[in-house]
């Protein structure tokens, strides 16, 4: 889907593996990162390099590989299938995707990033507060299922 003409046409090739286009994925990345900064600025700052490399390498892949969208779609579908297997199997509950699609698509990457940071000792008090909040929500969901 093309951008409106009011947007500048920016295409920058850093090397064969990193390409930047000002397009809808770049806008999505920018909006997501701004949202992550509103949630947890330090963690967002630590996430920017990883997110940037993902965007740049995905754009380069799209230019370099014929039929790249087909391969990306296959990888995307396989990843979602793995998500469902992982959530329904070991966890015994549905993925957040079924509760809130937007939250799952926008927040899931940052949530994984935060989990890695927490495992490395990042803000233990915040980690404790989030785990408690998540535990309360899971309990509410379980009680609602039992009541139904």
Is this structure's pTM higher than 0.75? yes
pLDDT digits (tens, 9 = 90+) for 77-124: 998 888 888 877 777 777 766 677 777 778 888 988 999 999 999 999
Q: Radius of gyration of the chain from Cα atoms?
A: 18
pLDDT digits (tens, 9 = 90+) for 53-70: 999 999 999 999 999 999
Residue spans of the domains in the chain: they are 1-64, 66-94, 106-148
SS3 for the chain is CCCCCCCCCCEEEEECCEEEECCHHHHHHHHHHHHHHHHCHHHHHHHHHHHHHHHHHHHHHHHHCCCHHHHHHHHHHHHHHHHHHHHHHHHCCCCHHHCCHHHHHHHHHHHHHHHHHHHCCCCHHHHHHHHHHHHHHHHHHHHHHHHC
């Amino acid at each position: 889907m093309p951008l409106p003409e009011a947007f500048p046409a920016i295409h920058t090739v850093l090397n064969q593996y990193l390409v930047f286009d000002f397009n809808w994925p770049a806008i999505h990345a920018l909006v997501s990162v701004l949202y992550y900064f509103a949630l947890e600025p330090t963690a967002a700052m630590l996430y920017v390099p990883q997110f940037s490399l993902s965007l740049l390498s995905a754009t380069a892949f799209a230019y370099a590989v014929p039929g790249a969208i087909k391969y990306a779609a296959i990888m995307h579908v396989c990843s979602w299938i793995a998500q469902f297997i992982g959530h329904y199997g070991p966890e015994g509950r549905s993925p957040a995707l079924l509760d809130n699609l937007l939250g799952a698509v926008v927040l899931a990457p940052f949530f994984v990033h935060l989990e890695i940071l927490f495992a490395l000792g990042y803000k233990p008090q915040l980690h404790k507060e989030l785990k408690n909040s998540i535990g309360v929500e899971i309990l509410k969901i379980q009680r609602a299922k039992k009541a139904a």
